[in-house]
Structure 1
Amino acid sequence: MTAPIPGGWGRPDVAGAARELFAAMALEPSGRVTPSVYETGRVVSDAPWLAGHRRRLSYLVDEQRPDGGWGAPGGYAVVPTLSAVEALLASVRDQGATRHEPGGPSRVELLTAAVRGLTALRGWLADGPPELPDTPAADLIVPALTDRINAHLDLLDGEPGRGPLAGELPSAVDRRRFVALDALLAGGRPVPQKLLHAFEVLGPAARGRVDVTPVAGAVGASPAATAAWVAGPADADPAVLSYLETAVAQHDGPVPCCTPITAFERGWTVSTLARAGVAVRPAPRLITELAEAVGPEGAATGPGLPADADTTSVALYALALLGRPVDPDSLGRYDVGSHFCTWQGEDGRSVTTNAHVLEALGWHAHHTPGGAARHGDRVAALAEWLRTRQETDGCWTDRWHASPYYATSCAVLALDAHAPAGTATSAVERAVDWVVATQRPDGSWGRWAGTVEETAYALHVLLGTAGTPRRGVREAVARGLAYLAAADDRAAHPPLWHDKDLYAPLLIVRAAVIAVWQLAITRSDLATGVDRNASAAASDGPMIRSA
């Protein structure tokens, strides 16, 4: 757990906070990510033999909401609730496999939580399928888990006081893609690489498939996918068991959706700090490892995942800001003409991926010999594409984060720094006005409630852009900084990032908050009350080294 930035609002210790952040990255190279209800439920169901099973069950019971669901509001609750309900019912059916572990919820507690979850699901589905967010593999996960839950409903027969639960649970999505996947694999076709992260949707058919080879002990960098593939401890490769045990150890039972996230965490953290002007000089080993993560096809978030334009572009931008630029040729394979896909075969388009590509190509266009001739036209076209994706109210939204404040900060910072002069001025101004207009009474910003993370992104928009300050910006900045100064940033950050379930990459979020204070020091014309000379991490201060 990182400490709050010491010294108060007027004298933030940016350098000390950044040093602590790099030390945490060195101590936990796999990355720091919040646990996932969805992923934990899949490990409960598919690997009840794995150490920490009872603690995972307790986590699921403890995380249930008062309304019987799990997860974030609205459609975000469907996937984690299906996973938790199926896991609880599977555990009731298979309790004999885990009797060697004492403690944990009783059979009555498991059934009670499962029935409450089923009741919530039936209520959500009563008027037709809810609108599901654009999270990875949701159209496969939902029908797969619905089928598994329906296969467990006989457990409720004759249970006193369990309520009217007659009939099967209807699917919340169109099943055609799920059926097509079954047909594809039944015909002897190999598992598509982009499916590996959600490999657990295959159920029993996932066990030991010979066309799947774990990478660094993991299938698709996912504890759930890996647990679905391995048959059990007796037959498992030691590297696979080690991967699962390490994932379990991160939260003493519950597991995250994706681990490790080394390149992702380092790229986002370094680029966020350096973009804001924090004088960053990580240990040479960290820089070398980040550069090595960028291969001919780019960089991947985790082992066994396909390389993607998002991780690649952020790694390239971070390396460039560190003085170790790598040629961005690998991004060419993601260029689809109008924009850049996150990976080949992507369903949908990502604003934030394209904002990050704009930063990477924009840096090379301005700072490398011949860069303007080589990348200038693509930078201009990409800036125009981003501009046209702006919502009518002035914000941007994206498929990789639940909050428009993240997408808006990514788009605004990329356009403000790299769009051809004058072409994005109006878009940036509209975004600034939207941020000012949507501030909450307590000085925070947030989609569902005010959060430290979303407040940081909003302040990046207000403090990180050039030009004459818009009306209301100074007042909004003062209130936002006061909120951050009073907030306990040791508290848990609500999961807002999209994976199969929502999650929070904690050190990346921490970097966004640290960067706000550096921006406040640099933009003291806007951030009244912040001492411009307060931080040793300002431009005249010593570089920051990690251990």
Structure 2
Amino acid sequence: MDLPTYLDSAMNKVLSADLSHLSRASDYDTSWAARLINEDRSLAYPHLIHWLTKRQNPDGSWGGRIPYAHDRLLSTLAVVLLLGRLGHRQRYHEQRSAAERYISRQAGDLQQDIEPTAGFELILPALLEEAHGLGLNLPYAELHGYREARAEKLSILPTQRLFETRTTALFSLEAFGGSIDVEVAASLLSDNGSMVDSPSATAWLLGQFSNWRARFPQSAVYLKESMSRTGRGLPVVAPCGIFLRAWVLYYLYGYSGSSSDREAKSRPHYDYLCKHWRPHGVGSSPFALRDSDDTSMVLLVLHRAGYEVDGSCLLTYERDDHFAVFDHELHTSISANLHILEALETLPDKDRARVRDKILSYVLDAQEQDGYCWRDKWHASVYFATSHALMALLPHAPDELSGTASWLLATQRADGSWGEYVPTAEETALTLLALLHYHRACRSLPREPLRRAAQYLLLNELPFKDDYPELWIAKALYVPTCVVRSIILASLSIYQDTFGDLIS
């Protein structure tokens, strides 16, 4: 099969997939569903215990395959608390002890991760307090500083009405056990039965009611359907149909395969985004809190496809020196600002120059590694924000990017891949895509590193895989499989279009 036919086949598979739900369960979120009990005190989902105990890593931890300290520690602590509540079965005791030793060893490594997982500073102190009450052997003193981080986060939230309106705190509702009126919180459940699309927050809330199945039947269905879609446990977020569709269409915009076939298969996804678009913006699903990142991505893909869109709502996220993703956020996002920059043409004419200059100043000032790379709070890899910056800044500041392109080439691995922790298809495809854009729009790059990267992606049919490592950041690490596939397809397609060979 020639490469264009091969890529068209893979693209058809992506566009025909379920673009409303993640396909992989999270240890962290699953542990909260595993806690749920029926009115007769039996476990509601006993199979989840078996699944989780099979997933312990050799070092005693739980969490994603990438050894990201925040993800591993929080996931491990959540499962340890679950096992601690199941009594003193010898097998659970041994696994719990191994996990406690892991937490003690790794507690000091949290600073190695530049970005914490979402809600970490709220959730960790709450789980440690619960662990202390259970008498678990953990390094409480070493982690005591996160109480201050929790206080800092709470100081920027509207504490007087924190659980009376829909704020980002609802996504981490499990962090507030014992300090909220659960009846009031339950009144904020979304129409789909979830707590702002967070499976773990939803499961925690249900666990506060002995008759949760009868009281919240839609929420019980939500958990059951979320588990059935992964075939195991709960994902980090569900659903996320706006997020997945927007990102897949964003990357496939540059795909150079059969345009008529792509347009026909893409149309239902554009229709979905149009149907759920609101003048004030959107979130990751029709039930989620709205945010600037999903809003700008939807605006961008619809604008590229020829739809008339008005991006004025993005201006509500404007701050003194950057654009926020949510109200009351503690950490800013490079990638979200870059996406607003890419969606600049959807803004009113009078605002474009100001927005452009503000974002350029913010992004260029945020460079790391002697001005060559960027990091972002939504992704564990330095190559994510750096590749996005290289592509988004090209039309505006091409003279500022030669060092970034050189740094990316210099950090390529011997097998042609890129990867901050281990070689991954996602990081390789993102970096290749960015370098190809730079090569085509700014300055010619040596072909050999690009060819080796493309060859790496074709090995073992990487565009068709579904077991990519988790690199995206929510309360735990996760992977949006179809988005990763679309990145791989876009990079290989543009490589083929640029060099015209079959990467033999």
Letter in 2 for 1:73: P
- CA separation of 1:128/1:12 partners in 2, compared to 1, >3 Å: closer, same or farther? closer
Q: Choose 191-200 or 378-387, whichever is displaced more.
A: 378-387
- Structure 2 CA distance, aligned partners of 1:515 and 1:448? 23
Equivalent position of 2:495 in the other structure: 520
Matched residue SS, 2:51: helix
1:112-157: CA deviations, max 9, x gaps?
A: 11110011112223x6975553221101111111111222237xxx
Equivalent position of 1:54 in the other structure: 46
- Alignment pair present for 1:481 and 2:454: yes
- Structure 1 CA distance, aligned partners of 2:282 and 2:253? 20
Letter in 2 for 1:458: T
Among residues 95, 105, 108, which one is paired with 2:90 in the alignment? 108
> Structure 1: which 5+ residue stretches go unaligned?
1-6, 94-106, 155-164, 366-370, 532-547
- Alignment pair present for 1:64 and 2:56: yes
Letter in 2 for 1:210: V
Contact 1:227 1:244 in 2 (8 A): yes
Equivalent position of 1:305 in the other structure: 288
Contact 1:199 1:228 in 2 (8 A): yes
Structure (1/2) with the larger helix percentage = 2
Letter in 2 for 1:250: R
Contact 2:11 2:489 in 1 (8 A): yes
- Structure 2 CA distance, aligned partners of 1:284 and 1:319? 11
- Structure 1 CA distance, aligned partners of 2:24 and 2:243? 15
Matched residue SS, 1:523: helix
Among residues 106, 109, 118, which one is paired with 1:136 in the alignment? 118
Q: Measure how far apart 1:528 and its partner are.
A: 4.7
- Alignment pair present for 1:492 and 2:463: no
Q: Choose 426-435 or 264-273, whichever is displaced more.
A: 426-435
Aligned residues: 483
Identity %: 25
Among residues 422, 427, 430, which one is paired with 1:449 in the alignment? 422
- Alignment pair present for 1:330 and 2:304: no
Matched residue SS, 1:91: coil
- Structure 2 CA distance, aligned partners of 1:530 and 1:351? 33
Contact 1:41 1:87 in 2 (8 A): yes
- Structure 1 CA distance, aligned partners of 2:416 and 2:293? 31
Matched residue SS, 1:305: coil
Contact 1:52 1:252 in 2 (8 A): no
- Structure 1 CA distance, aligned partners of 2:417 and 2:287? 38
- Structure 1 CA distance, aligned partners of 2:130 and 2:203? 16
Matched residue SS, 1:40: helix
- Alignment pair present for 1:411 and 2:406: no
Contact 2:292 2:336 in 1 (8 A): yes
Contact 1:197 1:305 in 2 (8 A): no
Matches within 5 A, 1:117-132: 117-125=99-107, 130-131=111-112
- Structure 2 CA distance, aligned partners of 1:301 and 1:83? 25
Matched residue SS, 1:151: helix
- Structure 1 CA distance, aligned partners of 2:19 and 2:42? 23
- Structure 2 CA distance, aligned partners of 1:306 and 1:181? 18
Letter in 1 for 2:189: P
1:252-298: CA deviations, max 9, x gaps?
A: 33111111010000000001101444544245443232023332321
- Alignment pair present for 1:16 and 2:6: no
Letter in 1 for 2:14: L
Q: Measure how far apart 1:14 and its partner are.
A: 2.6
- Structure 1 CA distance, aligned partners of 2:247 and 2:170? 24
Question: TM-score, structure 2 length as denominator?
Answer: 0.87
- Structure 2 CA distance, aligned partners of 1:23 and 1:153? 50
Matched residue SS, 2:146: coil
Q: What CA RMSD, in Å, does the superposition of the two structures yield over aligned residues?
A: 2.9
Q: Measure how far apart 1:477 and its partner are.
A: 0.6
Contact 1:33 1:503 in 2 (8 A): no
Equivalent position of 2:83 in the other structure: 88
- Structure 1 CA distance, aligned partners of 2:37 and 2:141? 24
- Structure 1 CA distance, aligned partners of 2:407 and 2:154? 45
Contact 2:375 2:385 in 1 (8 A): yes
Letter in 2 for 1:92: G
> Structure 2: which 5+ residue stretches go unaligned?
none
- Alignment pair present for 1:245 and 2:224: yes
Matched residue SS, 1:254: coil
1:159-211: CA deviations, max 9, x gaps?
A: xxxxxx49967535421454689999997753561111111112355684324
Q: Choose 290-299 or 374-383, whichever is displaced more.
A: 374-383
- Alignment pair present for 1:229 and 2:224: no
- Structure 2 CA distance, aligned partners of 1:69 and 1:414? 37
Matched residue SS, 1:495: coil
Matched residue SS, 2:170: helix
Letter in 1 for 2:336: T
Equivalent position of 1:31 in the other structure: 21
- Structure 2 CA distance, aligned partners of 1:52 and 1:20? 35
Letter in 1 for 2:147: R
- Structure 1 CA distance, aligned partners of 2:14 and 2:487? 11
- Structure 1 CA distance, aligned partners of 2:126 and 2:167? 19
- Alignment pair present for 1:503 and 2:478: yes
Among residues 360, 370, 374, which one is paired with 1:383 in the alignment? 360
Q: Choose 301-310 or 116-125, whichever is displaced more.
A: 301-310
Letter in 2 for 1:387: L
Letter in 2 for 1:89: G
Question: TM-score, structure 1 length as denominator?
Answer: 0.81
- CA separation of 1:91/1:179 partners in 2, compared to 1, >3 Å: closer, same or farther? farther
- CA separation of 1:115/1:477 partners in 2, compared to 1, >3 Å: closer, same or farther? same
- Structure 1 CA distance, aligned partners of 2:104 and 2:289? 36
Matched residue SS, 1:115: helix
Equivalent position of 2:342 in the other structure: 359
Matched residue SS, 1:175: helix
- CA separation of 1:521/1:91 partners in 2, compared to 1, >3 Å: closer, same or farther? same
